[in-house]
């Protein structure tokens, strides 16, 4: 038997992972999938499980699917555990987006103050899950999508007994796909180095079949060939001078850091009209679940592509495939640095190309950080360390330091009010504070 447990199985994204599993069944022969959710997610997970059954039947497969609210029971004999939870749901996300904006700061679910609170809510829950995994199925790989994915993965690797944890994100995957599209080749022929942290990762040195195409890509990344941006992020585009002079490919989240004023202005206009991404996602979810309920639906609907995490299953399934089959191919994941970036400690989690073996990811060494972004990456990692410390301890001083250290906050006069309002708004989900 080969068993997959999806924690947060009621997520509207789950049909993707079902599709990914079915597509790869000949090489990654899952026999059992268990969708786990909590009481509040019961209705959603039932709908997803029914859809999953129809998808499996349509594919003439006989993988056994079920759902449960009993995590510990679900974990028995699991081989892979994926985690895609949202503590506090979309209501909490809406607060993460709105409160910072009301104080004049970027409001985003994984960046700035919103990302910090998301981490604070999520760390205690994910540690509990990792402890259960370690106790019940210690051999299982835990593949974490839960945001902020890099921070959560580091918190687990440092503070939970389970060490088989890998963090993933669809951003590097899409950056590579988009480089391939721009260069008009197949993504399988392209290699792209990734340097940095989750949602703060840069691409460097594009090669096609071993030949450097960085110049070519840089030239083409002009206004006609914009870089990929997922549905959830406003796209303001990059100037040619940025790409050419940095000699690095930014990810869409970098706009918050290197175009802060323009991003803030754009977010502010939406905020004044009462619009947030959380609200849009709520709408989209409603629509998706009414589609999922249709007994005639037997495959993943196209509308799912309007979610920012579209195609995350490609990342998850490719990773599980390589772990299971010891493929030793290169994939971009969040894992321990272990010397890959000279300036960072071994136990820091970074987003990096790794050779994926049955024993886990082996980072391909980068060496020293590029001078142009060395300070920014070190600052972000120092900030993440503070978030993890505060998320574990519930210590107010550490939380304050984390807020002030964030490049999107850094405003002594306004930090305390922002922090206090956000802590108060989330108290129900912050047992550690």
Residue ranges in contact with Mn ion by CB under 5 A: 1, 79, 169
Binding mask 301-330 for ligand G6P (x = CB under 6 A): ------xxx---------------------
Burial of 302 from C-beta contacts in 10 A (0-12 / 13-18 / 19+): exposed
Q: How far is the CB of 7 from Mn ion (least distance, A)?
A: 17
**Concatenated DSSP letters for 136-198?**
H-TT-EEEE--SSHHHHHHHHHHHSS---EEE--SHHHHHHHHHHHHTTS-GGGEEEEEEEET
For ligand G6P, which is the closer residue by CB, 231 or 404? 231
- In sign, the C-alpha dihedral spanning 66, 69, 73, 77 is positive
Rounded to whole angstroms, how far apart are CA atoms 126 and 133? 10
Q: Which two tokens stand for residue 404?
A: 């002030």
Dihedrals phi, psi of 349, to nearest 5 degrees: -90, 130
CB nearer ligand G6P, residue 178 or residue 214: 178
Q: Residue 292 carries which DSSP code?
A: H
Closest by CA to 400, choosing from 387, 385, 388, is: 387
Please tell me the count of residues contacting ligand G6P according to CB under 6 A: 12
Residue nearest to ligand G6P (CB): 308
Is residue 115 a contact residue for ligand G6P (CB under 6 A)? no
The span from the CA of 125 to the CA of 347, in Å, is 21
Active site residue 257: no
**Of 213, 253, 256, 312, which one is the catalytic site residue?**
253
Q: Answer whether the bond into residue 175 is a cis peptide, omega within 30°.
A: no
Q: Select from Mn ion, ligand G6P, none the partner in contact with residue 1, using the beta carbon and a kind-dependent cut-off of 5 to 8 Å.
A: Mn ion
Alpha-carbon distance of 390 to 155, in angstroms, equals 11
Among 281, 316, 340, 388, binds ligand G6P (CB under 6 A): 281
Q: Which is nearer to ligand G6P, 281 or 352 (CB)?
A: 281
Binding of ligand G6P at residue 377 (CB under 6 A)?
no
Near ligand G6P by CB under 6 A: residue from 231, 234, 330, 404? 231
Closest distance to ligand G6P from the beta carbon of 85 (Å): 12
Q: How far is the CB of 110 from ligand G6P (least distance, A)?
A: 6
* Residues at the site binding ligand G6P, with contacts judged by CB under 6 A: 147, 169-171, 230-232, 277, 281, 307-309
Catalytic residues: 253
């Amino acid at each position: 038997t080969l068993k997959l447990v999806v924690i947060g199985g009621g997520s509207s994204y789950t049909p993707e992972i079902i599709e990914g599993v079915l597509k790869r069944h000949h090489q990654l022969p899952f026999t059992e999938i268990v969708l786990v959710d909590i009481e509040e997610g019961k209705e959603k997970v039932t709908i997803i499980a029914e859809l999953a059954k129809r998808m499996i039947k349509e594919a003439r497969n006989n993988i056994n699917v079920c759902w449960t609210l009993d995590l510990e029971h679900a974990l028995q004999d699991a081989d892979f555990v994926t985690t895609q939870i949202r503590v506090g749901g979309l209501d909490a996300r809406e607060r993460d987006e709105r409160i910072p904006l009301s104080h004049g700061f970027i409001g985003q679910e994984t960046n700035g103050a919103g990302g910090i609170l998301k981490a604070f809510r999520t760390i205690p829950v994910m540690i509990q899950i990792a402890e259960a995994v370690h106790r019940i199925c210690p051999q299982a790989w835990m593949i974490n999508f839960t945001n902020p994915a890099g921070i959560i993965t580091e918190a687990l690797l440092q503070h939970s007994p389970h060490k088989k944890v890998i963090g993933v994100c669809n951003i590097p995957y899409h950056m590579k796909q988009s480089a391939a599209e721009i260069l008009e080749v197949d993504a399988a022929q392209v290699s792209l180095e990734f340097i940095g942290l989750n949602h703060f990762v840069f691409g460097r040195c594009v090669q096609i079949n071993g030949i450097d195409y960085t110049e070519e890509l840089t030239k083409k990344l002009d206004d006609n060939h914009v870089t990929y941006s997922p549905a959830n992020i406003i796209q303001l585009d990059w100037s040619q001078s940025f790409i050419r002079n940095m000699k690095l490919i930014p990810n869409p989240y970098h706009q918050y850091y290197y175009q802060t004023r323009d991003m803030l202005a754009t977010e502010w206009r939406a905020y004044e009209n009462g619009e947030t991404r959380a609200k849009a996602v709520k709408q989209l979810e409603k629509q998706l679940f009414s589609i999922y309920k249709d007994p005639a639906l037997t495959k993943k609907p196209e509308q799912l592509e309007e979610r920012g995490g579209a195609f995350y299953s490609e990342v998850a399934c490719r990773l599980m495939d390589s772990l299971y089959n010891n493929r030793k191919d290169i994939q971009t994941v969040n894992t321990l640095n272990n010397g890959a970036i000279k300036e960072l400690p071994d136990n820091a989690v970074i987003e990096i190309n790794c050779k994926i073996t049955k024993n886990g990811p082996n980072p391909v060494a980068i060496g020293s950080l590029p001078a142009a972004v060395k300070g920014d990456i070190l600052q972000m990692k120092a900030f993440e360390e503070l978030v993890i410390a505060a998320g574990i301890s519930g210590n107010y001083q550490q939380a304050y330091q984390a807020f002030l250290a964030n490049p999107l906050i850094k405003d002594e006069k306004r930090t305390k009010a922002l922090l206090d309002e956000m802590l108060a708004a989330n108290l129900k989900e912050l047992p550690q504070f």
